[in-house]
Amino acid sequence: MKHLIGLVGTNSSQSTNRKLLQFIQSHFAEEATMELMEIKDFPVFNKPTDSPLPPVIQEAADRIEQADGVIISTPEYDHAIPASLINALNWLSYDIYPFVDKPVMITGASYGTLGSSRAQAQLRQILDSPELKARIMPSSEFLLSHSLQAFDEENRLKDASQIEKLTGLFADFLIFVDLVNQLVQAHDSNVKAAENFSWETI
């Protein structure tokens, strides 16, 4: 059985994105295991030059490295992903490169109508940066709009059509994970390229 990380893309303690990942975790428990990863305890990124990475960062990187794939759920603030998620990705691409060639599925929940569509587009662009270079599942947006009304008292999605769509995307993601994890021939070179990349020398 595949083991996934569900990355909660916010430091909010009441996020519906956490609820969405918890639903995925429970609803698809017979198809894959998923552990939730929080970013609310990540320190502010400060590009350290002479100190080891904070333990919480190294532990997160190790967990991502060992997982078969990652599902990130992001809210949308001002047409963008939250600063806390940018901060986490800054840490997870600094002297450690757990996302290189890692299969990633993006989901998102928002209080409004668009369901974090702009944030998801931005997140795809960030995950494709030279220091991250994740393998992002294409054509796979899951946009949960009006998320405050989307769950029942037992944290289950109410809308059967949304569950049907998510079920299809999750099944596709498991296939995508298998495909991507066979593309290992250039992985060492890709990691080395991420390690050696420098914006100053472009």
The pTM score is: 0.93
Residues 6+ apart with CB under 8 A from 192: none
**What integer pLDDT is reported at residue 44 of this predicted model?**
95
**What integer pLDDT is reported at residue 202 of this predicted model?**
56
Both tokens assigned to 58: 């190294």
Using the predicted structure, report yes or no on whether residue 16 has a pLDDT greater than 70: yes
56-111 pLDDT, tens digit per residue, is 999 999 999 999 999 999 999 989 999 999 999 999 999 999 999 999 999 999 88
Distances (CA, A) of 76 to 20, 93, 162, 179: 14, 22, 19, 30
Collapsed DSSP state (helix, strand, coil) of residue 184: coil
Domain ranges in the chain are 2-201
The CATH fold of domain 2-201: Rossmann fold (3.40.50)
178-199 pLDDT, tens digit per residue, is 999 998 787 888 888 888 877 6
If we measure between CA atoms, which residue out of 142, 134, 63 comes closest to residue 99? 134
Q: Give the mean pLDDT of 34-59.
A: 92
Burial class (CB in 10 A: 0-12, 13-18, 19+), 18: buried
Cα separation, 19 vs 39, whole angstroms: 15
Q: What percent of the chain is modeled with pLDDT above 90?
A: 75
